[in-house]
């Protein structure tokens, strides 16, 4: 395969490097693709001289030693790259940093090579991609349509095959809406998981750097390389275990009530959302209807409340000195924060706290939430004719997630059939509480691969890339699940009296195996809750029906502490020969107990009338 036919997904690049392709050749091809851009995706493409040091540092390095070896990437132009101007979409604001942003340093240390600075809605204020003096960024599939914003060029550059991944930022949906409109996966990570040092802020308390890539696996690899605690960033947070992995097996997903769904007249988008619900059900999900009312009220606080003051604070000196340099719709929004009072800010923060309590209650009944990423998409001409209202429409399903501290992944759902946007891509978003990023990416990958998609706006089939499994290699700040599996054999089984001791701690049923044929089961004396005792024996044993639950390790200690003698947790051997922590009984405990081994399990004994 010639280089101009090479797909820049991570697996294809790694295969090319294994076959002897050089970093210089790959980066030269990437730069050539960037320089032929006609969609206003770039503010600056690195010159050969600017990129040379980044390539030279990989000379003599084993490609297998770095997780992102020789991977070209694009940077939204509100994130610093040393020696290259940062404009935030405003040439009068531009400055040239002497040091790259913390996370850019992380990525380059992992082997990635920067190739360009991407266009954006000025000062990251907008969800449409048209608010830039460098030109309205055009959709990768149809230049008459918006790209989505504010991370417009970041998304289009990857969709057009110019780079393997790009960085955007997300305050209100800027890392998700462009993914939806350009057939990409877009991650809005947990707030603070990626450092904000070296980023021009929009709303500093809500901003997060976002990641665009062709596949969920590629996003996960980038997250693994970029996520690291940054002591110089007051909003940085160390990664936490993501807990029970709901990405496989049975899971529950929230679906907005019919009256909460709004597609702004786009019936093709409504149909794709219904198809998305059916696809998740086919993957093992159970839909649970969710009232979006508190979520939507929280969303309105972002622009109708005092958080616009953060946008004003971010560029206060500049906008005071040169207001005419700011794009009119952007200036209207940012100037709206000038007169916000402390009383208004505190009142809104109190209301948000109450709304978060109401919204967080939904996680008691679901594992993740499914929404449209944006209800519809618009032509550039229509957006420019009505820039405030149509932009507001784009944020209906995105504005609340940063305020509520959720993680979210935008994933392709399909292509619109009918209507003015016929044939254009459209996507959905999977959201969950903070630090659930890995589980969301794994589920998004399964969802994505359930259809025969291609990558971005390229002809490369998604099926040619590996699935998103395990943790990213070379991860710096991505934590594992942090869970413990435990086998139960009696009153903790599903639907029985003590099962709540598992479910109240966030445990999930992951299987119903049998033990190895080495155990006897006894109905213990006492109560009031009847309990079995499972004892391992040298002979006369049988296979016992079990359930295996996955429990957050943080709650495992309190669970074990509540287990009464003569029961305890030890290693239980399963029928497949593996071992898992589970309930065992001290030998002394079976004195006065009834041997019920012949029933093969506690449920069978109960079903037989629990004969003594």
Q: Which among 397, 435, 442 is positioned nearest to 192, based on CA atoms?
A: 435
Handedness of CA 322, 327, 328, 330 (dihedral sign): negative
Q: Which among 284, 276, 277 is positioned nearest to 426, based on CA atoms?
A: 276
The answer to whether 150 is a known catalytic residue is: yes
Rounded to the nearest 5°, which phi and psi values hold at 390? -65, -35
Contact partners, residue 215, CB within 8 Å, separation at least 6: 9, 10, 185, 445, 448, 455, 462, 465, 468
Coil, strand or helix at 193:
coil
Distance of CA 47 to the CA centre of its chain: 33
The answer to whether 210 is a known catalytic residue is: no
What does 229-273 look like in DSSP terms, one character per residue? --TT-TT--------S-TTSSSEEEEEE-GGG---TT-HHHHHHH
The single residue of 76, 160, 188, 356 carrying the catalytic annotation is 76
- How is residue 439 written in tokens? 């589980």
The single residue of 100, 132, 174, 210 carrying the catalytic annotation is 174
State the DSSP code for 25. H
Q: Which residues of 207-246 are buried (b: 16+ CB within 10 A; e: fewer)?
A: bbbbbbbbbbbbbbbbbbbbbbebeebebbbebeebbbbb
Q: Which among 474, 460, 462, 482 is positioned nearest to 216, based on CA atoms?
A: 462
- How is residue 10 written in tokens? 């991570």
Number of residues in the chain: 612
The answer to whether 76 is a known catalytic residue is: yes
Query: Which residues sit opposite 286 in a β-bridge?
Result: 252
The single residue of 12, 30, 150, 180 carrying the catalytic annotation is 150
Catalytic residues: 76, 150, 174
């Amino acid at each position: 395969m010639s280089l101009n036919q090479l797909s820049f997904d991570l697996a294809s690049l790694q295969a090319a490097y294994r076959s002897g392709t050089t970093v210089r050749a790959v980066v030269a091809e990437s730069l050539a693709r960037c320089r032929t851009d006609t969609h206003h995706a770039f503010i600056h493409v690195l010159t050969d001289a600017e990129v040379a040091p980044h390539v030279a540092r990989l000379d003599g390095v084993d490609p297998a030693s770095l997780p992102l070896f020789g991977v070209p990437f694009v940077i939204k132009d509100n994130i610093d790259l040393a020696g290259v101007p940062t404009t935030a979409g405003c040439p009068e604001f531009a400055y040239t940093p002497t040091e790259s942003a913390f996370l850019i340093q992380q990525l380059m240390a992992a082997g990635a090579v920067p190739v360009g600075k991407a266009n954006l809605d000025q000062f990251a204020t907008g969800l449409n991609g048209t608010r830039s003096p460098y030109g309205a960024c055009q959709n990768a599939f149809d230049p008459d349509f918006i790209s989505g914003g504010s991370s417009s060029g970041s998304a289009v550059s990857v969709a057009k095959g110019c780079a393997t991944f790009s960085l955007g930022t997300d305050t209100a949906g800027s890392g998700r809406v462009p993914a939806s409109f350009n057939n990409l996966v877009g991650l809005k990570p947990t707030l603070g998981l990626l450092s904000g040092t070296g980023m021009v802020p929009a709303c500093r308390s809500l901003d997060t750097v976002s990641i665009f890539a062709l596949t969920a696996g590629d996003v996960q690899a980038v997250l693994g390389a970029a996520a690291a605690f940054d002591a110089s960033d007051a909003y940085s947070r160390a990664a936490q275990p993501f807990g029970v992995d709901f990405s496989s097996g049975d899971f529950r997903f929230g679906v907005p009530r019919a009256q909460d769904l709004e597609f702004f007249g786009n019936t093709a988008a409504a149909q794709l959302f219904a198809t998305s619900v059916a696809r998740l059900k086919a993957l093992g999900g159970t839909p649970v209807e969710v009232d979006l009312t508190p979520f939507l009220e929280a969303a309105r606080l972002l622009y109708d409340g005092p958080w616009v003051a953060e946008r004003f604070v971010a560029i206060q000196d500049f906008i005071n000195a040169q207001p005419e340099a700011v794009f009119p719709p952007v200036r209207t929004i940012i100037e709206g924060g000038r007169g916000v009072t402390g009383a208004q800010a505190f009142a809104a923060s109190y209301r948000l706290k109450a709304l978060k309590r109401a919204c967080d209650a939904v996680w008691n009944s679901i594992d993740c939430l499914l929404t449209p990423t944006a209800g519809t998409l618009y032509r550039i001409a229509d957006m420019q004719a009505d820039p405030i209202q149509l932009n507001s429409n784009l944020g209906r399903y995105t504005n609340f997630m940063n305020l509520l501290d959720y993680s979210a992944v935008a994933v392709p759902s399909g292509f619109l059939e009918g209507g003015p946007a016929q044939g254009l891509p459209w996507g959905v978003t999977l959201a969950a509480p903070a630090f659930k990023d890995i589980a969301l990416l794994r589920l998004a990958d399964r969802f994505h691969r359930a259809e025969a998609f291609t990558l971005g706006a390229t002809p490369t089939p998604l099926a040619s890339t590996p699935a998103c499994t395990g943790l990213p290699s070379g991860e710096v700040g991505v934590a594992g699940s942090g869970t413990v599996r435990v086998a139960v054999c009696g009153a903790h089984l599903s639907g029985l009296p003590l099962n709540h001791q598992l479910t109240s701690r966030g445990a999930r049923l992951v299987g119903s195996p049998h033990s190895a044929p080495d155990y006897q089961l006894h109905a213990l004396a006492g109560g009031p809750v009847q309990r079995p005792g499972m004892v391992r024996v040298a002979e006369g044993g049988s296979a016992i029906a079990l359930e295996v639950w996955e429990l957050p390790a943080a709650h495992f200690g309190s669970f074990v502490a509540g287990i009464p003698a003569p029961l305890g947790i030890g290693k239980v051997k399963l029928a497949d020969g593996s071992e898992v922590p589970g309930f065992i009984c001290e030998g002394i405990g079976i004195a006065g107990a009834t041997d019920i081994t012949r029933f093969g399990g506690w449920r069978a004994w109960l079903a037989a009338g629990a004969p003594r």
